[in-house]
Chain A
Amino acid sequence: MNKKAILLVSLLTLCGLLLLAACNKKENTEQSANTPQPAAAPAATPIDPATVATINGTVKFDGAAPKPAKIDMSQDPACKGANESENIVVDNGDLANVFVYVKDGLGNRTFDVPSAAVTLDQQGCKYHPHVLGVMAGQNIEIKNDDQTTHNIHPTPKDNREWNESQPPSTPAIEKSFAREEIMLPVKCNQHPWMKMYINVVKSPFYAVTDKSGKYEIKGLPPGDYTIAFVQEKLGEQDQKVTVGPKETKTVDQSFKPVAE
């Protein structure tokens, strides 16, 4: 056998092996491998329910509200309805989708992780909600109510990144994030306008402002706290607050437009 023939046979063999490897159909798309198992949590620090306080308030946008950009969803006929960007959602000066949480002041307290999952829905090729709060280790139930395939792709800094496809009419995917992370972006690579943010915190003291910019954090033990207000485009603003036993304190906040 001359050199040419040997080279030719080697090349064809290599191709055959590659083809064989490629043909090995990948059936297993179970998400269990990607689901981080929460470590055994220490017992929660008790809180006296008779003394707990409440913090509530309204978050305002101080300036002319930007006009939301129209989203072109024509690349997928299953994505029906109007869609606008949710970067900054302002209604009469009230700012929605601001994540408010107790950033500091809880010390070494630990909290039980709720057994109930929070739901993230994909409907109309949009995420519902756009901003989600969850405790570290708490399950997130991800549903697809669209008649098209989505892929859910969180791009965290401190947690494990994953990417899974979810065809229509398939069971919900359950996931959790092990570490605290604020404004963890989630996107769909099939529909590039689909973006949302998950906020993973250690305590249950968080809220997301509604359409009227309102939020409420209940069950807080009396003390001195730093409350953080985080908006995906406008950044973070903090306020120091002291709450006494059974007190309800109003803490309002306003964001100014950020120069582009």
Chain B
Amino acid sequence: MKAIRAKYNPAHHAFAVFTALATLVVITAGALVTSNDAGLSVPDWPTSFGYLVKIPHFVGGVRYEWSHRMVAGTLLTLTLAIACWTLLVESRKWLRWLAIAAFCTVILQAILGGLTVLLLQPPWVSTAHATVAQTFFCLAVCIALFTGQKWIEEPPRVEFDTRRPSLLMLTLLSIFVLYVQLILGGMFRHHGMSWWPHVLNAVIVSFVLAWTAIRAISVYSNIEAVRRTAILLISLLIVQLCLGFTAFFTRVAWGQGAVQPELPMVASTVAHVAVGALLLATTVVLSIQVWRHVPVAFEERVSEAQQHNASVA
């Protein structure tokens, strides 16, 4: 990634940040739909009660489902705009492809949303819808990161990582366990699986993420991009664990016989989903920052560097 050659475009970056924030809004709206069991309150798709944009009687579950569809439609437009804008102004070829990938992902996400409605919420389809949503959020955050001034104008401060497992490997492992957690959580929420695999994996996620964040903070605190992201990661992990406990107690332990979704269970679950999305995106950003600033020192590379230093001396 030849970051220095690119030119910083403040408007383009601001729009990318806005698109990423809009994605979080759509994820939150989607979580509200599931938490209120309103996913099938509008039985048709892509139309809503036969119309594309006509506002229906705005009561009950329709409020959540229809609003989710509208903000998702807006996000699709925003993604198209950022993709076109990136194609027009961006000199980095890989970033242009990333913008196209983001647009394809949002289309896939819309199709999965439609299938969820038309196939009456099969757990795997609904879980795929939830997983692709967070994948798209990560892509949107990455575009915002790569179009940012710091990424473009500040040269990376490189420190070779000689520890094993490397920090990069830990961040990749963190992303993997988070994806597993996302799938297990989605399956539980959509009645395809019991709660315990999600809770069990939460222990693994906590361990791996804490290990990753502590390693980053303790060893690479002099690299601001890594330190800040790692601090955010550990903070979000703590918040997420608290929300997970709250969601478990309000929904599983106390709310199992509830006759309708109650505010504590809806609020805690929606927040758990939103913070989960932020946690995944932060881990992806940390992984990218580690890849940029803390490359893995392979033995050959170290010896080559040493040889070079020796010859210079």
Residue A50, interface by CB 8 Å: no
Asked if B39 is an interface residue, CB under 8 A from chain A, the answer is yes
Q: Is B274 an interface residue (CB 8 A)?
A: no
Is A165 an interface residue, CB under 8 A from the partner? yes
B83 touches A11 (CB 8 A): yes
The answer on a CB contact under 8 Å between A151 and B59 is no
Q: What residues of B have a CB within 8 angstroms of the CB of A25 in the complex?
A: 47, 50-52
For the complex, would chain B's binding face be called helix, strand, loop or mixed by DSSP majority? loop
Assess whether B62 is interfacial by the CB under 8 Å rule: yes
CB within 8 Å for A7 and B52 given contacts A22-B46, A153-B40: no
Check: B223 CB closer than 8 A to any chain A CB. Answer: no
Select the stretch in A13-21, A98-106, A133-141 that faces chain B.
A13-21
Are B88 and A4 in contact, with the CB atoms below 8 A? yes
In the complex, which residues 71-123 of chain A have their Cβ closer than 8 Å to any Cβ of chain B? 71-72, 75-78, 85, 87
Interface centre among B37, B258, B259 (most CB of A within 10 A): B259
A75 and B43 form a contact (CB under 8 A): no
Which residues of B sit under 8 angstroms from A7, Cβ to Cβ? 87, 96, 100
User: A127-171: which residues lie under 8 A (CB-CB) from chain B?
Assistant: 148-149, 151, 153, 161-165
Which of B49, B80, B260 has a CB less than 8 Å from the CB of A193? B260
Q: Do A191 and B60 touch across chains, with their CB atoms under 8 A apart?
A: yes
**Contact residues, B38-61 vs A (CB, 8 A):** 38-44, 46-47, 49-52, 56-57, 59-61
| Interchain Cβ contacts within 8 Å, total number | 102
Q: Is B107 an interface residue (CB 8 A)?
A: yes
Query: B129 to chain A: closest CB distance in Å?
Result: 16
What is the size, in residues, of chain A's interface with B at 8 Å between Cβ atoms? 42
Q: Is A11 touching B80 in the complex (CB atoms < 8 A)?
A: yes
* B166 located at the interface, meaning its Cβ lies under 8 Å from any Cβ of chain A in the complex: no
Report yes or no: A76 in contact with B51, Cβ–Cβ below 8 A.
no
List residues of chain A with CB within 8 A of the CB of B260: 71-72, 192-193
Instruction: State which size class the interface on B falls in.
Output: 35 or more
Whether the Cβ atoms of A27 and B37 lie closer than 8 Å is: no
Query: Does A23 lie within 8 Å of B52, measured CB to CB?
Result: yes
Contacts of A30 in B (CB 8 A): none
Alpha-carbon separation in the docked complex, A148 to B100 (Å) = 43
Q: Tell me if A151 and B40 are in contact (CB < 8 A).
A: yes
A85 to B259 CA separation, bound complex (whole angstroms): 6
Q: Does A12 contact B (CB under 8 A)?
A: yes
Q: If the complex has contacts A14-B107, A25-B47, are A192 and B36 also in contact, measured as CB distance less than 8 A?
A: yes
A76–B50 touching, CB < 8 Å: no
Question: Inside 8 A of A39's CB, which chain B residues have their CB?
Answer: none
Question: Do the beta carbons of B84 and A8 come within 8 Å of each other?
Answer: yes
| A-contact bits for B103-132, CB 8 A (1 contact / 0 none) | 100010010000000001000000000000
- Near B by CB (< 8 A), chain A positions 163-183 give 163-165
A-B contact sample (17 more), CB < 8 A, given A78-B59, A190-B61:
A4-B96, A8-B84, A12-B84, A18-B110, A23-B52, A29-B50, A72-B260, A75-B63, A148-B59, A149-B56, A149-B57, A151-B40, A153-B120, A162-B120, A192-B36, A192-B37, A195-B259
Measuring CB to CB, which residues of chain A are less than 8 angstroms from any residue of chain B? 4, 7-8, 11-12, 14-15, 18, 21-23, 25-27, 29, 69, 71-72, 75-78, 85, 87, 148-149, 151, 153, 161-165, 187, 189-193, 195, 233, 260
Closest 10 A-B residue pairs measured CB to CB?
A: A190-B60, A189-B41, A193-B260, A76-B59, A85-B259, A22-B46, A189-B40, A190-B61, A26-B47, A190-B41
Give 25 pairs: A residue, B residue, CB < 8 Å, sorted on A: A4-B87, A8-B87, A11-B87, A11-B103, A12-B80, A18-B110, A22-B46, A69-B259, A71-B259, A72-B260, A148-B60, A149-B56, A149-B57, A151-B40, A161-B120, A163-B40, A163-B43, A163-B120, A165-B43, A187-B37, A190-B41, A190-B59, A191-B61, A192-B38, A192-B260
